[in-house]
Amino acid sequence: MSDTKPFLDQRVMDLVNTYILSNANPETKVAHHLPPEKLRSQIDLTLPENGCSLDELYKTIEQYLTFSVRTGHRQFFNQLWSGFTLPGLLGELFASLANTSMYTYEVAPVATLMEKELIKKLGGICGFENPEGLFVTGGSNGNLQAMMIARNRALPHVKSKGYSNAAELIAFVSEEAHYSFEKSANVLGLGSTNLRKIKTDDTGRMIPEELAMAIEESLEKGKQPFFVGATAGTTVKGAFDPLEDIAPIAKQHDLWFHVDGALGGTVILSPRHRHLLEGLDKADSFAWNAHKLMGLPLMCSILLVREKGHLWKTNSVSGTDYIFHDESYGAYDLGPISLQCGRRVDALKLWLSWKYYGDKGYTERVDRFFELAAYAEDIVNHAPSLELMAPRSSVNVCFRYVPNTSEDIDKFNLRLREELARKGKALVNFARLGEDVAIRLVIANHELTREDVSLFFDSLIQTAESLT
């Protein structure tokens, strides 16, 4: 087949439409979970010497969709993201069709302007008057780059000379912060023991007084504190650290104040709930995952920095004149401020989605998430066999089933979760709260209704009763 001839035919549209429509059917299984070897036997994974026909290729695609988890299904509550949006799909399709990279204005003129416009809008919403930022490969990468900026600010010579004759740097996050901070400490050469995890209260929020004491203790030991990472929407409890109380502590000690809003950043779009992010305008940087509560396809993540210049100081290097020519449009090039060279056009899908839904559409979405999460919490509180495991802060509901048997309660809930997945009725995750297992329900699919939430709990209770 010539690459210059059209090759998208009706079969493509049929595959897409059938898949999307079947997600809305409650009879459709969320997943066909098979052991690896059994799944391998269902699909021909060999790569042949000679190519296959288009018919064979479509058959393989059908198999891929059949045995993949349906994350757009209304009974998928497993991750911090879920659902499907048409603008997001269109953004993915046409970004791939144009197939450009986000390093120069010359090669990505429209995408560059879109990304800059989104950074300006997002920064303004956060209260950053003169922000800079860019799309990154995920919230983990955003946290890494924020810590990297903070490290270079604390040790200006480290970029050229490394850690020679440097003080021991100490970073602070809550004990419920995302594990990416520990990975960042590893990548940046700080060491995991120099990442201090601050105690949280029963809701999962960092305790500011504990942070202040930890900073003082590090100073007394001759260490150099340099970074505070707060969380807006923790992965398990969905808790929001008290930013307004943390900010002055960071400022008092001249520490870089970063907020990981990978989950909860979108909450700022709701006037009703943005109080959870009060104090964000005092942060130095902010990581935000639009592929979570804004419903975009993975990945769609942004790192925002309150003041311009930090990204360039941290990421710019020599030997780039072959691509960054610094001529008429050099000021628009995003490559010099990025840790990456080649970078996918993720801005298009967010720009198209915001264009389609508008500010009002996203405000309504966030409010609906909170309403449905409160509805789920109410079901738990009124069901004799269910127990709420932590106070609800946002869109995460942590609970467990209490069986009327002598079986270990943790083992029972793990078995219950697996049985739901095995039958394809629902996919929901679990986490440990201290020593106890909790089922973690996440409300993140914008198509969810009360009926979908009720169906989940009906399925869970019926399945649990069948196991006792």
Mean of per-residue pLDDT scores for the chain: 95
> CB of 145 within 8 A of CB of 303?
yes
Separation of alpha carbons 426 and 437, rounded Å:
18
Q: Which CATH topology does 99-347 take?
A: Aspartate Aminotransferase; domain 2 (3.40.640)
User: How far is it between the farthest Cα atoms of the chain?
Assistant: 74
Q: What is the pLDDT of residue 323?
A: 87
Percentage of the chain surpassing pLDDT 70? Answer: 99
Which single residue is written with the structure tokens 């059938």?
A: 18
Closest CA to 292 of 283, 301, 284: 301
The 3 state secondary structure assigned to the chain is CCCCCCCCCHHHHHHHHHHHHHHCCCCCCCCCCCCHHHHHHHCCCCCCCCCCCHHHHHHHHHHHHHHCCCCCCCCEECCCCCCCCHHHHHHHHHHHHHCCCCCCCCCCHHHHHHHHHHHHHHHHHHCCCECEEEEECCHHHHHHHHHHHHHHHHCCCHHHHCCCCCCCEEEEEECCCCCHHHHHHHHCCCCHHHEEEECECCCCCECHHHHHHHHHHHHHCCCEEEEEEEEECCCCCCCECCHHHHHHHHHHCCCEEEEEECCHHHHHHCCCCHHHHCCHHHCCEEEEECCCCCCCCCCCEEEEECECCHHHHHHCCCCCCCCCCCCCCHHHCCHHHCCCCCCCCCHHHHHHHHHHHHHHHHHHHHHHHHHHHHHHHHHHHHCCCEEECCCCCCCEEEEEECCCCCCCHHHHHHHHHHHHHHCCCCEEEEEEECCEEEEEEECCCCCCCHHHHHHHHHHHHHHHHHHC
Separation of alpha carbons 394 and 442, rounded Å:
9
Instruction: Report CA torsion sign: 80, 83, 87, 88.
Output: positive
End-to-end CA distance of the chain: 58
Q: What is the pLDDT of residue 6?
A: 58
**pLDDT tens track for 250-295:** 999 999 999 999 999 999 999 999 999 999 999 999 999 999 999 9
Q: What is the pLDDT of residue 166?
A: 82
User: Which of the residues in the chain have pLDDT under 50?
Assistant: 1
**pLDDT tens track for 177-199:** 999 999 999 999 999 999 999 99
**pLDDT tens track for 412-432:** 999 999 999 999 999 999 999
Q: What is the pLDDT of residue 165?
A: 79
Separation of alpha carbons 388 and 377, rounded Å:
8
Q: What is the pLDDT of residue 151?
A: 97
Separation of alpha carbons 147 and 129, rounded Å:
21
Q: In Å, how far from its chain's centre is CA 430?
A: 17
Q: What is the pLDDT of residue 80?
A: 96
Q: In Å, how far from its chain's centre is CA 346?
A: 14
